[in-house]
Structure 1
Amino acid sequence: MQATLWQQLVHRLAPNCCLWCQMQVQQPQTQLCDFCHAHLPSLDLSWVDQNALLLPQVAQGLKRPKFDRLYSLSWYRQPYRHWISQWKFQQHHAAGELLCQLLYQRAILYQQQGRPLPDCISYTPVSNQRLQERGFNQAKLLAQQLARAWHKPCVSLFQSPDLVPHQIGLKRKERLANLKGKIQLQERPLPAHITLVDDVITTGATLDYLSALLKAKGVQTVSVWTLAITRA
């Protein structure tokens, strides 16, 4: 109770500014004002069994994906585009905290709807060099939110000893060529259903590559969670 009262006092004296409109937020420990939160773009997956792979625009861009299900908060548009870029390339940790909060909230809602949950959660890896440059792996931080919401283990299944070149602007074949031999699956027992997490899905090349590695070792179902999907 004391912590809550202290948070409310701090909020009254120096309230946060909304990360989108820059107006004061109404609630302590939040990154968005009530208006911006209520008007966030959202991807309606209720009519496709919560699987974005069944959306015509997604199916057109992702040809024969190796993973079985895809869930995302939004299309890759503002304000998600801005926050993801700021977090990933400018180390804007407030934006990262907001995105983690939004994914956690959606994961709770997904579970409350009685959707099937995985046995564990994993994430796209980054090389040691990239980790030193950036200071964090955003996919891992997002995966930890799903693990916390669902009370499932978050495990490191992949390693990337070699630096994978930036994939921005590359076509699918070019992305797959960059990945070949750069990411390996660690030797360990694997469960039947695994959820992979990444920040954005564009061509699906990276997640296809990881899914193929998992299924070659007997994993039956691979589901993917992302913050945003680029349109075909």
Structure 2
Amino acid sequence: MTCTQTGFLYQSPIKELVHDFKFNASSRAGTLLAELMLTKRPSQLGAALLAVPMHSKRARERGFNQAQWLAEQLSQRTGLPLIHAKCHKLVVSQRTLNRRERAANLRGAFSLAGPLPKHVTLIDDVVTTGATGNALAAVARQAGAERVDMWAVARTPLGNS
């Protein structure tokens, strides 16, 4: 990835908002997170937004894909088109994995139909090691993107990955 933009650290109260949104499907928390993201908007957004995809089984279990939901809200508010990728690999939860394990866990997980615009911005809720963004960015570059940035609500504090 070229640039990662997060406006907040994944700590209280942002952590509680993300948790409520992600695990309780709180649209109220999600709307607030999208609005907070817009207050820390990247100076260069690119020509399209691309949500980090979730395997269909995991999305059914959770009830929705939080990155997709955020990307839809941001697409509406910025006027940028939304591109859809697919996750074909049911990966184990990234939360307990270190940087190397996360990268291996995501190898071959994503696909994307091209051609893409030259500059694409990935959307996710939380960035920890960047492994998910890097894996999706590689697929986006294969589909024609020359620059791929990441825009997320928060990042975990250094030393917590």
TM-score (normalised: structure 1): 0.63
| 2:71 is the alignment partner of 1:166 | no
Whether the aligned pair in 2 keeps the contact of 1:123 and 1:197 (CA below 8 Å) is yes
RMSD: 1.6
In the TM superposition, what whole-angstrom CA distance separates every residue of 1:5-48 from its partner, at most 9, and x where no partner exists? xxxxxxxxxxxxxxxxxxxxxxxxxxxxxxxxxxxxxxxxxxxx
Hey, what does 1:216 align to over in structure 2?
Answer: 142
Hey, what does 1:153 align to over in structure 2?
Answer: 81
1:30-41 alignment to 2 at 5 Å? none
Q: 2:60 aligns with which of 121, 132, 142?
A: 132
Following superposition, the deviation at residue 105 of structure 1 comes to 4.3
In the TM superposition, what whole-angstrom CA distance separates every residue of 1:117-138 from its partner, at most 9, and x where no partner exists? 3111011100111111111111
The secondary structure found in structure 2 opposite 1:197 is strand
Question: Higher relative contact order at CA 8 Å, sep ≥6: structure 1 or structure 2?
Answer: 2
Hey, what does 1:190 align to over in structure 2?
Answer: 116
Structure 2 portions without partners, runs of 5+: none
Amino acid corresponding to residue 6 of structure 2 in structure 1: S
Amino acid corresponding to residue 133 of structure 2 in structure 1: L
In the TM superposition, what whole-angstrom CA distance separates every residue of 1:142-179 from its partner, at most 9, and x where no partner exists? 112322232110110x2113322111021011111211
In the TM superposition, what whole-angstrom CA distance separates every residue of 1:36-83 from its partner, at most 9, and x where no partner exists? xxxxxxxxxxxxxxxxxxxxxxxxxxxxxxx11111121111101111
Whether the aligned pair in 2 keeps the contact of 1:100 and 1:141 (CA below 8 Å) is no
Hey, what does 2:2 align to over in structure 1?
Answer: 68
Whether the aligned pair in 1 keeps the contact of 2:115 and 2:143 (CA below 8 Å) is no
Amino acid corresponding to residue 129 of structure 1 in structure 2: K
| 2:37 is the alignment partner of 1:103 | yes
Structure 2 distance, partners of 1:180, 1:106, is 30
Hey, what does 1:83 align to over in structure 2?
Answer: 17
Hey, what does 1:227 align to over in structure 2?
Answer: 153
Structure 2 distance, partners of 1:213, 1:155, is 13
Structure 1 portions without partners, runs of 5+: 1-66
TM-score (normalised: structure 2): 0.89
Distance 1:90 1:188, change over 3 A: same
Whether the aligned pair in 1 keeps the contact of 2:115 and 2:144 (CA below 8 Å) is no
Whether the aligned pair in 1 keeps the contact of 2:6 and 2:40 (CA below 8 Å) is no
Identity within the alignment, %: 36
Following superposition, the deviation at residue 86 of structure 1 comes to 1.8
Hey, what does 2:131 align to over in structure 1?
Answer: 205
